[in-house]
Amino acid sequence: MPLTNTAHVILGMLRKGPKSGYEIKAKADISTRFFWAISYGQIYPELKRLEEAGLIEGESDPADGRQRRVFAITPAGEQALRDWLTRPGDLHTELRHEGVLRFFFADALDHTERVALLRTVRAKHERLREELAAIQPVAEAMAEEAGGDRLGLLTLETGIAYQELFVELCDRLERRLDETESTVGGS
């Protein structure tokens, strides 16, 4: 059966060099997390499956006496990754945004509550924007060691622009709310 996108994240991470499950999670947490989150509950079982399928190879590599398994991608794994990257057909795109959802139904609230909601949403995206901005130097360093792969940087910039859009949209919505409020009066 076909691999999940999460499996491809693991494959993609290992293509940049051998890693333990723990390291995969750590790298994902500062990069892919913002548009494709993964958790330990998926990583370890998936590593097992990928190894059985011959797409990766695990090797025991205890560091400082600590138990540790490091996985490396195989040629078959590289091929599977490439196949996925170039595969035609629909790309899964899913957004679940409780803030926008609440706003959609905010007719049940009064003006003050609506504004408070927008401010909360705005604050969240502002915080995420800062979180991403803080990663930038790390990503810069990672790009160096990855032999000049700048795509991580570009993706990060995309993530920052994404958060900025929501901040701006919240501001815009609040202004629009004030306009109607002042002309017709709110509920």
Partner DNA sequence: GCTCACATGTAATCCGTTACATGATTCT
Partner DNA sequence: AGAATCATGTAACGGATTACATGTGAGC
Contact positions vs its own copies (CB under 8 A): 5, 8-9, 12, 15-16, 31-32, 34-37, 78, 81-82, 84-86, 88, 90-109, 113, 117, 120-121, 124, 146, 148-152, 154-155, 158-159, 161-162, 165, 169, 173, 176-177, 180, 184
Q: Around Cβ 103, how many Cβ atoms within 10 Å?
A: 19
Give dist(CA 161, CA 157) in Å, integer: 6
Residue choice 47, 50, 121, 160 for contact with DNA (CB under 7 A): 47
Residue choice 30, 44, 111, 143 for contact with DNA (CB under 7 A): 44
**Distance between alpha carbon 44 and the CA centroid of its chain, in Å?**
19
Give whichever of 61 and 140 is closer to its own copies, judged by the CB atom: 140
Report yes or no: 176 and 186 within 8 Å, Cβ to Cβ.
no
Taking the complex as a whole, how short is the minimal distance between the CB of residue 139 and its own copies, in angstroms? 11
Backbone torsions φ then ψ of 57, nearest 5 degrees: -130, 125
Report yes or no: 121 and 170 within 8 Å, Cβ to Cβ.
yes
Taking the complex as a whole, how short is the minimal distance between the CB of residue 92 and DNA, in angstroms? 8
